[in-house]
Chains A and B, each alone.
Chain A
Amino acid sequence: MVKVFIEKENKKINVKAKDIDEIIKKFKINKEEVIIVKNNKLTPRNEKLKDSDEIKFLSVISGG
């Protein structure tokens, strides 16, 4: 299971996914609205995932 954090919704979940794009599709995340951090490293491209990987989707949107 991959550990996923979606900052905008403050959601933490464990998900089964083979790559980053699969998570993006599953949670209908707009790539324009996030930066993606895989195991504490910024990751702009789709990457394969393995168990115990940690993926964070940090929001780029201004808070108002």
Chain B
Amino acid sequence: MCKQCELNPVIILSNSTKGLCKSCFFRYFERKFNRTISQFKLIEPNEKIGVAVSGGKDSLSLLYLLNKIKEKRRFKIEALLVDEGIKGYRDKTIKDAKRFCKELGIKLTIISYKDEFGYTLDQMLKKINIKPCSICGVFRRYLLNKYSIKLEFDKLATGHNLDDEVQTILMNQFRSNQEVSARLGPITGIKDNEKFVRRIKPFYLITEKETTTYAYLKNFNIPFCECPNNTQAYRIEVRNFINNFEQKYHGTKHSIINSFIEILPSLKEKYKNDKEIKSCKQCREPSSKEICQACEIRNKLK
């Protein structure tokens, strides 16, 4: 806190009534980001970290910050983007991602549904009757893992923030999906499994209001862009519920995430997956069943 914080605040943090000025906010934000990485051991020296970018403010801020600390913490980064083929949306955000990676001198690999599965998402939606978010839920995860292995990433970082995680935690609570919650957390996946690349979320303790403020003050110039297929009605309702609650009772989101971090080890222990991970008969990618979920959708497209 400094004199400027009183005179020129840029944000009021959710657990406080006092404001922070621009430079104090930058310090606060970057410290929180660094602390999250250290506290949950997200990155080890000499690792190669893939950064999943969408072209939105969260993933590009993440890329910027990882790039900033990579020398001090001695790791390497590369960016990875999945182009689903959504006209009027992804084509726009790809431009921002390309510009950003070029400015920072970071290698960007773009993988597309069209090259990988033969069709863009827009074309798939005309062929089969599956909700777009259900297709992307499977295909994006599949491609990100496949290419993270191919590009020899030790871990894959995503721009998921505190709000994203809190929404998922509550959605799983409301639907009694504890097993799905067991797979959440700041670092996910199984250590030393060569078929899966572990995922890390360095913005785990940072709200979306904070990431937006950061991107705005850094002049990243990333316009708001919403996927036209957004069919996640339930998530939107949960998000509204949480945000209304937070307005009334400041600090609710942080309390949810903090209690979740406390119970997560027991959840993970309870739902430890002892099932053998097989290879999909069709594509050889890891799968718990004979045919993986991606190939199940792929077969419907034939």
Contacts and interface: CB of A to CB of B under 8 A. Distances in A.
Contacts, number: 66
A35 B209 contact: yes
Interface string B78-95: 000000000001000100
Interface in B233-258: 239-240, 243-244, 246-247
Interface residues of B, number: 35
Interface stretch (B184-192, B212-220, B264-272): B212-220
B152 interface: no
Contacts of B93: 63
Interface string A1-26: 00000011000000000000000000
Nearest to B208: A60
Given A44-B19, A60-B209, A63-B224, 19 more contacts: A30-B247, A32-B246, A33-B243, A35-B212, A35-B216, A37-B216, A42-B213, A42-B217, A44-B9, A59-B224, A61-B224, A61-B226, A61-B239, A63-B56, A63-B89, A63-B93, A63-B226, A64-B229, A64-B232
12 contacts: A8-B224, A32-B247, A42-B216, A44-B12, A45-B9, A60-B209, A60-B211, A61-B208, A62-B159, A62-B208, A63-B93, A63-B227
- CB-based closest 7 A-B pairs: A64-B227, A32-B243, A60-B212, A42-B10, A44-B12, A59-B224, A63-B226
